[in-house]
Structure 1
């Protein structure tokens, strides 16, 4: 592997296991069993694989929501990673504004910095006066818009992007995609999970293929993508 000098995240033989057959069962289901790759400064790494391969579990691992049961995930000290639409810390009894500030704090900003981001979050989320209403009155789409706005406004070092971010109407989806593209072209480090090979080809320099919880292919996207497409074609 490369030097750690410009490495932001290193995943080394990471595995995540969940109880199978009930919480008191000794049996485990390994959602991830052996995944390894690096993310370097300014790099965009794509992650692809069949449904159930472990991609969503990997994002939770990278966001620090869960810890590995085997292997390790190293993150450069001081580096902040944000999972878009994670809705970190959203509480139904708090207003949109209060939840936005709280989420910014949980993502590493000070309360003052979080409050300074409110105008940008409000403008991006496009939920108007609902920012002053309790989150319990929000639709799922409004919650996702707010979460998306918070994650972008927090300006993390690493964006963790899940393709399930297709929320809201077509204009909002186009706006979100344009904002992400602008960030990435500007040198934003990111990890992008998607089934869309065109999206990955367009945005990513490196591709990691996960199959049954293991990283089976990893490298420059122009080399790995044809191998993945051949693997899918062969069943």
Structure 2
């Protein structure tokens, strides 16, 4: 079953979309603005996002740009009443994958959701380290048959470390890769480091998350000995 997030401030339209998608066996969570949407994305592994352009607190273009700056490549379908070529190009420049102009037929929305989900599912990419496997398409991490429970932010943290294959990665590099220029305080990184370390330990992973004082972090093999 496809799992999507709808970010739309028009409650009546949002209710209609959610109900219709569920009839089509598509699970759909709803957020009424971009800030709420980003918070949900940090906690849930959505397969795609349906994103309205004009919203309070954070508009759709800003939210889409923020996702891409954080390295989150979930497919985005933008909804808007603005149908000029310049508006569409602005949406694509922000990182959207598709564009649907209001008003639209619900059948067309479903078709576009299904096409985007299928397109993404055909692009499976994996990274491995020790007995740890990352599926970059599904945003899942597994140790043997055990699935790690990771938020999108923690998954991105793990991806950055796995790509370096035991090389140290500075805090600055990690925070830039995850949050781009819109970085929170350092406590946010500490929380995700703690959660990732706990998940690796619970899964009996052969990779250990090591803190390197005054430098940053790296993954190393459990049986690695000091030189």
Q: Which has the higher contact order (CA 8 A, sep 6+)?
A: 1
Q: TM-score normalised to the size of structure 1?
A: 0.25
Q: TM-score normalised to the size of structure 2?
A: 0.25
